Structure 1
Amino acid sequence: MSVELDINSEEEATAAGKTVYVYEAPVRLWHWLNALSIVVLAVTGYLIASPLPSVSGEASDNFLMGYIRFTHFAAAYIFAIGFLARLYWALVGNHHAQQLFRLPVTDGKWWAGMLHELRWYLFLAKQPKKYAGHNPLAHFIMFLSITVGGVFMIATGFALYGEGAQEGHWAHSLFTSWVIPLFGQSQDVHSWHHLVAWGIVAFAIVHVYAALREEVMSRQTMISAMISGSRTFRK
């Protein structure tokens, strides 16, 4: 049986065996592309910040760091374009697609649900509540990490990219011209870009742990839901 639950009213799925279609195909495609781009950005970004030791041979025959930087920039374009596409789908998709960009901060039940989920993750609550989309705590963390963090990384990343591309480049006009003066100097932008990147890496680790934990302990499909689009509340 398929039942559509309204996440806006925080309605729970209390009966086992219910299946809810949550994530539409564009959301699922974006999720996996976004995950891949974050992994590539994290690895290449780390190598850019902490370069590999020099390799032997003629300098003109070695372009390793150049390839690493190119891969970082390519992944950044995928991340940024994907973010814009995801924002568009939040406007035209179902109400679950809007969660990533909207926090119901005036809803007291949402705050109560967040407190309950925090107690559940700390092993203080005996039973979890079941939500069709993201639970309130996951909703809040994903908004901070993906939406706020994503906008920050796009703005600071393209500001640094535009600095190298120099005046006349679109990235310099749209980002470098105001982001670097806002922070004071280029090195400050580098430092904050690096720091928030580590925050997103930490979020990704916790995100995977939480998905696996909820798959087992909450008796609801989490990982497969991002493949099929449907969430099933198991017996």
Structure 2
Amino acid sequence: MRQRIYVWEIPVRLTHWINAISIVVLSFTGYFIGNPWLFVAYRESYAGFFMGSIRFVHFAAAFVFMASVLLRTYWAFMGNRWSSWRGLFPFLTKRGRQGMLHAFQYYFFLRRDPPETIGHNALAGMTYAIIVLLYAMITFSGLALFGDLHPESIWAKLTGWVLMNVPSQQLRMVHHFIMYLLIVFAMYHIYVAWLIDMEEGNGLMSSIFSGFKFLRPDQAPDWIEPEAEAAAAPKVSSHAD
């Protein structure tokens, strides 16, 4: 028998997929803005404002992405223990450091057993902390570039000091470089998710759609300390292995 545990709440799953779709749209449009590889004949009715349309899609996706990140940040303080901000800092606790070592040894083929946890393993949690930092950097640099093009906007007033100290071309290069880092992370993220799902057989891939994972009763406890609030208790039901 396995326990059917409700791990990923709706805001976590919703923001995960909004972020994923937004990053795909932002990457395609952002690359095109920096390197227009598609030529549109001038006789086409939409040719006159084709680049403007691409930029509009890019900016719209950026604001959707920002809203999603803000919602996920809010839920890091209001959600259950597996969506908590504490998951980003495993090195602060002894159990977290042990979990990081276990995950590191597994990923580098130094031990065979995967780090079985209910939520993310400790090393993944620290990785997500780096991703959150990259989110902040690419968002801030994007807003600064947006403000440079729209000097009357509030973003120009909030970020104008950046371009007074950093040339716009260098800021644009940083913006694009972080995009490539996020693309590499996305490929790695998908690979590791499939790997852990096959190794543990706990429904990790389906859990990002349903919210439920399937765990053995004797599975090791999470490295994240339990919350004091009763609301953080998982919903458990039995399910045939």
The two structures have a TM-score, normalised by structure 2, of: 0.83
> What percent identity do the matched residue pairs reach?
35
Mark the CA change 1:217 to 1:102 in structure 2 (over 3 Å): closer, same or farther.
closer
Residue pairs, 1:157-172, within 5 angstroms: 157-166=142-151, 168-172=152-156
Residue pairs, 1:176-215, within 5 angstroms: 177-182=160-165, 184-215=166-197
Aligned length: 216
What's the CA shift string for 1:163-217, capped at 9, x where partnerless?
Answer: 1011x31111122x233235x2111110111111100110000000011111101
2:32 aligned with 1:50? no
Coordinate RMSD, CA, aligned: 1.9
- Mapped to 1, the partners of 2:87 and 2:3 lie a distance apart of 27
- Mapped to 2, the partners of 1:101 and 1:77 lie a distance apart of 26
Residue type matched to 1:111 in 2? R
- Mapped to 2, the partners of 1:138 and 1:104 lie a distance apart of 9
Does the Cα contact within 8 Å between 1:110 and 1:136 map onto a contact in 2? yes
Residue type matched to 1:232 in 2? F
- Mapped to 2, the partners of 1:34 and 1:206 lie a distance apart of 16
Does the Cα contact within 8 Å between 1:48 and 1:69 map onto a contact in 2? yes
Does the Cα contact within 8 Å between 1:118 and 1:137 map onto a contact in 2? yes
What's the CA shift string for 1:101-121, capped at 9, x where partnerless?
Answer: 741332132122112112212
Does the Cα contact within 8 Å between 2:147 and 2:155 map onto a contact in 1? yes
- Mapped to 2, the partners of 1:222 and 1:78 lie a distance apart of 26
- Higher relative CO (Cα under 8 Å, sequence separation at least 6) belongs to 2
Question: 71, 76, 81: which one pairs with 2:62?
Answer: 76
Residue type matched to 1:88 in 2? Y
SS at structure 1 position matched to 2:203: coil
Mark the CA change 1:135 to 1:90 in structure 2 (over 3 Å): closer, same or farther.
same
Gaps of 5+ in 1: 1-15
Residue 130 of structure 2 aligns with which residue? 144
Gaps of 5+ in 2: 217-240
Residue type matched to 1:179 in 2? V
Alpha-carbon distance, 1:61 to partner: 4.3
Residue type matched to 1:209 in 2? Y
What's the CA shift string for 1:84-108, capped at 9, x where partnerless?
Answer: 1111112221122224774133213
